[in-house]
Amino acid sequence: MTGIDQSEPGESPRRRPQGRLPHGPRRRLVPLVAALILLAAATGIGVAITQWTHTAPGPSRAPAVREIRGLHAIATADASGYALFTTAGTVRFLPGVDLGATIPGHQPGELAITVADYTRWFDQMGRLGIHAVRIYTIHPPDFYRALRGYDTAHPTDPIYLVQGVYLPNDVYLQKQNLYDPQATETFRQELRDAVSAVSGKLIRPPRPGFASGTWTADLSRWTAGWVIGVEWDPYATAATDRANPHAPAVHGRYFASTPDATPTERWIAARMDDTASAEAAEGWTAPLAFANWPTTDPLRHLNEPNPQEDMVGVDASHVLPTRNWPGGTFASFHVYPYYPDFLQYQPSLQTYLRAGRVDPYAGYLHDLLAHFKGVMPVMITEFGVPSSLGSAHNAPLGRTQGEHSEQDSMRTDAQLLLMMRQLGMAGAFVFEWTDEWYKKTWNTQLHQIPLDRLQLWHDTFTNEQYFGVLATDPVPFGPPQTIYRNPGATTVQQVTATLDASFIHLAVTFARPPSTGITLGLDTVPTRATTPPPGSTDRHAAYAVVLDPLHHTGQTWVRDELDPDQVDYAPIPDDARPAAQDGWRPLELVTDRPWTLPLTHVSTRMQFDNVGLLRYGDWAPDAPNYDSLALWHLTGAELDLRIPWAMAGISDPSSHQALVPRGMNQATSRTVSDISLTVTDDAPTAQQAGALRWSDWQTVQYTERTKPAAAALHDAFTAVSTP
């Protein structure tokens, strides 16, 4: 994978629960806003804010350019903290949002974002009170033109840039060596190109997977920082250290390694010096950092059960600026509240109190601050929780890796943003601006076959696709189609289907309101005719949706032989979950394997997410009781149901592929022409109710909308931006 395609965080092993089972002074915040958001996040009670507009005029945030030791600067970072110089004074906390490099239906390397997209997004960011945007790689010239256009049009309230530079290829992973000449030279060129792009002086010819064209928009006066590098792979990092023990220390003009720097840290120091040299040649300096994450942090986590999560560290305090680089440096970390496992098991984190309760995530952030205290500030450049139906990991305080409603995800992000300001971070960036369809995660990517078509559908089971402040909703492929109609039937009289890139939408009309139970059988792939699912006589169904109209509950079941859990971990211990019921089991996702904790010697149980749980409610975004996780509701004799494609066993709906598990890390797919449907209501006899048929697709259409409760983020951004 090359170019921008490699530059996105979802492509690295980030926040993955098991690797591959074998992703200055400060004042108090505005108390009323903080209290409302904290209350909403803690109790689930919604703050009654449904819209947000441009932030009310306040002190100017226009950049105040200074000259320091012969270089221009709008920001610096040193042992006393981060400082952004504005005409109204120094800003000590930089809040922002991360922006990816693609739109639905495309991989990042396809460079599909238009100038209209960028222009619209910057206006929306400004209305939301966002003051900085971080990107991971060089975007096309339209990004820089659009951002300069916005900042020029909003001189007292601009959006500042934090420019990232990912490694442009995966050579260091292939060679397990950062010092490989190709890995080093291609990254050095990418760093030089990034500086030229920000300065408006880059020309690059077309090359697959890379932005090309002519960059003429100079964003230097609005560039508040740089974050280079990737979430370092622990195995490649350890291998780099072993293979290069005699790598020379770095004594660059602008950055140097300390005497105790590892070979990896020395290599990074050289790349930091490369970047600073290119910037200084343009007459500018700015805070310059490298990316990191808990997997390769410099701390020890003695009760972390997964060896790869504590096998090697990369320490920013071993890579320091010289006096010639007044922009300084900071420690940049991507930190999420649910991963790695030490957040749940490290004893010292289980006693850290904040706001009257134990908060291991806050404890970990406190430990990072303590490690770098007196050396450099710390900025959390990625954090958040996703609004996906599926989850990939559990977490203390309910901050799980998925299974959040859109409202809950936005309120949690707002709460965490406030917390980071209060703890003393130098800045915090919400991950991310838009939902992105191409993203993978460890406990669903082996179920998605072929994986290279993932960008063509929006999998609600994959949490990585649902971190956005903006939802990207697929447009239906056509009008509703009646797949079954029998007005004289005593059970089901009509079934209407509407399909899109996320769901199978069904409208089922019964002869009378069901009262005791409804079972929909889905014959997705041929199986041996054995026992039927609960509440039905359909012996051919592969999946079954079982609903309880009286209690408004529901559960999706899967035949044991098609259980996707066996793909992600095997053998599953007998005591890890209930035995299959007559050959059927609830549809779940594996969220963690069983571990023996190395420090406390406690044995943990295997963990699952009941992704087949069918929540009752209204999923229309404009509904007053909107629930983005709801999948069904019943009005009299009319059942409305939406079934995620993965819940029906489809591994790629765009090419009619269905999942066939083969065991540990092994699965294949089978081409299916349709999905036959049976329906059972109060009577146990299954009634044939037509078949779902659709055409392959190569392109998608979608709409954007701001997720409900984004107003909580607006208020949080406003609060943390108050001097």
Which DSSP string corresponds to 328-394? B--EEEE-BTTBSTHHHH-GGGGG-EETTEE-HHHHHHHHHHHHHTTT--EEEEEE-----SSBS--
Burial 527-537 (b: 16+ CB within 10 A, else e): eeeeebbebbb
Long-range own/partner contacts, residues 547-552 (CB < 8 A, 24 or more apart): 547/517, 547/518, 547/519, 547/520, 547/614, 547/632, 547/634, 547/639, 547/641, 548/517, 549/513, 549/514, 549/515, 549/516, 549/517, 549/518, 549/634, 550/515, 550/516, 552/616
Q: What pLDDT was estimated at residue 54?
A: 52
The two three-digit tokens of residue 9, written as one number: 């965080």
What is the residue-averaged pLDDT of the chain?
Answer: 91
Q: If pLDDT is split at 50, 70 and 90, which confidence band does 515 have?
A: confident
Secondary structure (3-state) at 215:
strand
| Predicted local distance difference test score (pLDDT) of residue 59 | 85
What integer pLDDT is reported at residue 527 of this predicted model?
74
- Whole-model pTM? 0.92
Structure token pair of residue 324:
């010639």
pLDDT of residue 592: 96
Q: What is the mean pLDDT of residues 11-33?
A: 33
Q: Is the pLDDT of residue 25 over 70?
A: no
Residue 384: is its pLDDT beyond 50? yes
Residue 358: beta bridge partners?
353
User: Which residue from 133, 99, 137 is spatially nearest to 3, judged by alpha carbons?
Assistant: 137
The pLDDT-based confidence of 33 (bands split at 50, 70, 90) is very low
| pLDDT higher than 70, residue 227 | yes
Note the pLDDT tens digit of each residue in 425-440: 999 999 999 999 999 9
Q: What would the two tokens of residue 595 be?
A: 């571990």
Whether the pLDDT of residue 703 is over 80: the answer is yes
Q: What is the DSSP secondary-structure string of 642-706?
A: EEEGGGGTEEEGGGTEEEEEEETTEEEEEE-S-EEEEEE-SSSS-EEEEEE-----S---EEEEE
Strands 71-73 and 331-334: unpaired
Please state the rounded mean pLDDT for residues 166-170: 95
Section 526-553 average pLDDT: 91
Would you say residue 683 has pLDDT above 80?
A: no
With contact defined as beta carbons under 8 Å apart, do 436 and 386 qualify? no
Which of 334, 332, 692, 667 is closest to 496 using CA atoms? 692
Nearest-angstrom CA–CA distance, 584 and 431: 38
Average pLDDT over residues 391-418: 97
Assign 18 a pLDDT band (cuts: 50, 70, 90). Answer: very low
> Which pLDDT does position 36 carry in this prediction?
32
Position 16 confidence tier, pLDDT thresholds 50, 70, 90 = very low
The predicted-structure confidence for 439-495, as pLDDT tens digits, reads as follows 999 999 999 999 999 999 999 999 999 999 999 999 999 999 999 999 999 899 999
Q: Looking at residue 723, what is its pLDDT?
A: 66
Helix (H) or strand (E) segment spanning residue 27: none
- pLDDT band, very low/low/confident/very high, at 685 (cuts 50, 70, 90): confident
Kindly state the average pLDDT of the residues 584-609: 96
* Interval 265-283 mean pLDDT: 98
Q: Is the pLDDT of residue 77 over 60?
A: yes
Name every residue whose Cβ is closer than 8 Å to that of residue 21 and which is 6 or more positions away in sequence.
442, 568, 569, 590, 593, 664, 665
pLDDT confidence bin for 516, thresholds 50/70/90: confident
| Higher per-residue pLDDT: 682 or 136 | 136
- pLDDT tens figures, 567-585: 999 999 999 999 999 999 9
Q: Which of 464, 447, 461 is nearest to 665 (CA)?
A: 447
Percentage of the chain modeled with pLDDT above 90: 89
pLDDT attached to residue 57:
62
